[in-house]
Amino acid sequence: MGPKGSGKSSFICNLLANDTQRKPTISHQLEPCTQNIEHFCMTVSDELLREHVILQGLVGRRIVLLDTPGFDDGSVGDFEILRRVAHWVAASYSQDVQVAAFLYIYPIYPGRFTRSEGKNLQMFSKLCGPSLMPRVMLATSNWHRQSRLEPGQDLPARENELKTKFWEKILKAGASIDRLDNCRAGELSAHALLVKMLERMADTERDCDGSILSLQFQLLEKRRKSFGRLGNRRLKERIDALLKERNYMGDTDSLKTKALNLIREELHGDGRPSWTERLKPIFQ
């Protein structure tokens, strides 16, 4: 995720094999190409497995790369982007797709951190929640533009300002920061950044179910609080029962199954408020 023109689609293209038939379309014009959420699949290469022992647990597993429209691109609302991501995460987990990481790419050049970008990052943080924050990677792109700067301007100084001011809170919560170049190999390449995210995922693999379950319960709890006096009483009672069971029993397999079933009903139910309306309390 990230602002338009930050290099999200380029990052995915640099990860996919050269002979991959389906790749994201990269825009070299003012108008962005990515209008909808799209996913692209890859496998961990034998070369990466040989070079990084910690990734051995990923043998035979595929990686699903989710490309999203850029924030502030004008064609898709920022809240709508987050709504679609939350929808995708909640629905896909029932198909054994686990969230390994959230990658937020920000262009260090021109590097003007606007009020809108601050609001988007705040909503992004709420989407991830505290339990998933160690899986968040903040990557700065466009480092090759250093030569375009005027005298006295400095990209590392901008990076430091992000760390100590705009991103300080999310970094203290457990997120990581790194640099990204638009290339397939090298210290700042897409593959190098992917390895770092996979290593963090491998370190916290045992916490994955609990983290995603926490996101699902965040959706359910916010949904419960959004009920008025004439709200869906039966659904409220079911959510209350799940929350009470979680307090007493913890995150058991039985509880995970019940939460998944309720999430699926909420996603595909008829005659209920729209998914957008149900998610709004999470980002308020």
46 with 64, same domain? Answer: yes
**CATH number of the domain enclosing 36:** 3.40.50.300
pLDDT at 204: 66
Total domain count, the chain = 2
Domain identity same for 221 and 193: no
Write down the pLDDT at residue 35: 65
Q: Confidence class of residue 198 from pLDDT cuts 50, 70 and 90?
A: confident
**What's the pLDDT band for 205 if we cut at 50, 70, 90?**
low
The predicted model gives 110-122 an average pLDDT of: 81
Q: What is the pLDDT of residue 193?
A: 94
Q: Tell whether the model's pLDDT for residue 283 goes beyond 50.
A: no
Q: Is residue 2 part of a domain?
A: no
Mark which of 203, 224, 258 sits at the end of a domain.
203
Per residue in 58-88, pLDDT (tens digit) is: 777 888 999 988 776 666 777 777 777 777 7
In this predicted structure, what is the pLDDT of residue 152? Answer: 61
Residues 101 and 195 in one domain: yes
Rounded mean pLDDT of the chain? Answer: 76
Show the CA angle centred on residue 186, arms to residues 185 and 189, nearest 5°: 70
The residue segments making up the domain with residue 81 are 8-203
Whether residue 263 is contained in a domain is answered as yes
Quote the pLDDT of residue 171: 95
User: Where does a domain end: 203, 238, 256?
Assistant: 203
| pLDDT 10s digits, 138-189 | 999 988 877 776 666 788 889 999 999 999 999 999 999 999 998 888 899 9
| Span 18-38, pLDDT tens digits | 878 788 776 544 455 556 788
Cis amide linkage into residue 134, ω under 30° from 0: no
pLDDT at res. 270: 42
Last residue of a domain, one of 187, 203, 219: 203
| Domain identity same for 217 and 148 | no
Residue 24: inside a domain, yes or no? yes
What 47-54 contacts at long range (C-beta under 8 Å, 24+ apart), as own/partner pairs, is 48/191, 48/195, 52/195, 52/198, 52/199, 54/199, 54/202, 54/203
Angle at which helices 115-128 and 78-92 cross, to 10°: 20
Q: Are residues 180 and 217 in the same domain?
A: no
Q: Is 260 in contact with 93 (CB distance < 8 Å)?
A: yes
pLDDT higher at 166 or 204? 166
* Single pTM value for the model: 0.73
Going by pLDDT thresholds of 50, 70 and 90, the confidence category of residue 227 is low
pLDDT value of position 242: 76
Q: What is the pLDDT of residues 80-114, one digit of tens each?
A: 777 777 777 777 766 777 778 899 999 998 767 88
Pair (187, 225) in one structural domain: no
Q: Which of 40, 44, 39, 41 is nearest to 61 (CA)?
A: 44
The residues pairing with 43 across neighbouring beta strands, listed in sequence order, are: 62
